[in-house]
Amino acid sequence: MRAFFLCILMALSLSPAWAGVPNNRAQPAYAEEQTILQAEHDARAPEPGLASKDSGRVHIDRHYLGQYGNKEGTVIVQRGGNEWRVLRNGPLATLSGVILVLALLAVFLVAKVVGKIKADEPDTGRRIRRFTDWERHIHWATAISFIILAVTGLVILFGKKLLIPLLGHDIFAFIAYVFKYLHNFIGPLFIVCSVLMFFTFLRRNFFRRIDWLWFRKAGGMLTHEHVPAGFFNAGEKSWFWFGVTLLGLVMSISGLILDFIAFGQTRYVLQVANYLHLIGATLYIAAAMGHIYIGTWGTPGAYHAMRHGDVDEAWARAHHGVWLDEVKAGVPVGTFDKRAPPPDHPPAGGAPDNVPPGVRP
């Protein structure tokens, strides 16, 4: 009998101990995760209203999207928050840093191995108009706002790790504060510029058959030949579609979601937007390094064209021979580069077989 009562007593004293540690079989997790598990356990207790929408309190935002309408003020712990923090500060930031450093190294490697791509012939002194004032202004407005966004964005992403040890907390706090606002305000301006630039250059960026030759010969970078090209070559067109258009869209949409949080987007939506923004930024900045290198040091004369709007005829012949033929023939851009050039096409940027005779100088 005494043994029976002893057993009952032990059983009764064990249960409060279990109740105190309801998830002792849970995997070791962050304190926040433990709190969530505890709250989940409590929520299963038959307490009316708890964890139900009607109670006015939402303890665990498990389903992230839309379940609680657009009011998140009542969410106490959002499970996704910890996952986002760990992923964003860990693997994503590391991967982004590695890709950006590799892209920089690749640019240096190309500069060393390939060197400058110059025109074959000396300057003729005859200048040709390549870009109008509007085209140059919209290009530079987009480029400058992009560089501001890239620098401020990278400080937001890597600043805590890289700059606090160098500058200390106070100076970094000031820089981060200013940069965050700069980023948030320049973002919408960049979108407007990107849209205007898209329509300004759209017509000249449609791929033509002639562009496949440029791809096949990798732009002549390894063989040092000038592959025939129209107003824009296939590399520039790829930058237009993959960079300016596709990545521009990813950055604009995710940026707007992050920038204007008054439209009911939940924290989960913000976290997904942040992943996309971070990945898109990494790819866009890496691709922009290539664009900036080719447009300045890599191709002498290209920066002058975008700065002042004109090029020498020898430059046009070497890099955009089909376009030069169109200019000389007085026909619209894109008229001659619709068809692929013949296989034995002269490598110095001469006109393809559909160029009317007599238009070459």
Q: How far is the CB of 317 from ligand HEM (least distance, A)?
A: 34
Euclidean distance between CA atoms 294 and 312, whole angstroms: 18
Contacting residue, 35, 38, 245, 274, with ligand HEM by CB under 6 A: 274
Residue 163 or 256: the one with the smaller Cβ distance to ligand HEM is 256
Which tokens go with 74?
């009542």
- Does 137 bind ligand HEM (CB under 6 A)? Our answer is no
**Strands, E, within 6-137: which ranges?**
58-60, 75-77, 127-129
Amino acid identity at 258: L
Which tokens go with 158?
């890597």
Contact track, ligand HEM, 178-217, x by CB under 6 A: --x--xx--xx-xx--------------------------
Residue 283 or 311: the one with the smaller Cβ distance to ligand HEM is 283
Q: How far is the CB of 87 from ligand HEM (least distance, A)?
A: 10
CB 205 within 8 A of CB 237: yes
Q: Which helix H or strand E contains 79, and what residues bound it?
A: helix 79-87
Q: First CA to last CA across the chain, in angstroms?
A: 117
Contact track, ligand HEM, 84-103, x by CB under 6 A: ----x---------------
- Does 251 bind ligand HEM (CB under 6 A)? Our answer is yes
Which tokens go with 204?
């000249």
Number of residues that bind ligand HEM (CB under 6 A): 27
Residue 185 or 212: the one with the smaller Cβ distance to ligand HEM is 185
Half-sphere exposure of 235 (CA within 13 A, CB side): 20
Euclidean distance between CA atoms 207 and 215, whole angstroms: 11
CB 295 within 8 A of CB 140: no
| Cα distances (Å, whole numbers) of residue 85 to 88, 94, 274 | 5, 13, 11
Contacting residue, 255, 334, 341, 349, with ligand HEM by CB under 6 A: 255
Q: How far is the CB of 145 from ligand HEM (least distance, A)?
A: 8
Q: How far is the CB of 173 from ligand HEM (least distance, A)?
A: 14
- What is the binding site for ligand HEM (CB under 6 A)? 88, 146, 149-150, 153-154, 156-157, 180, 183-184, 187-188, 190-191, 251-252, 255-256, 258-259, 274, 277-278, 281, 284-285
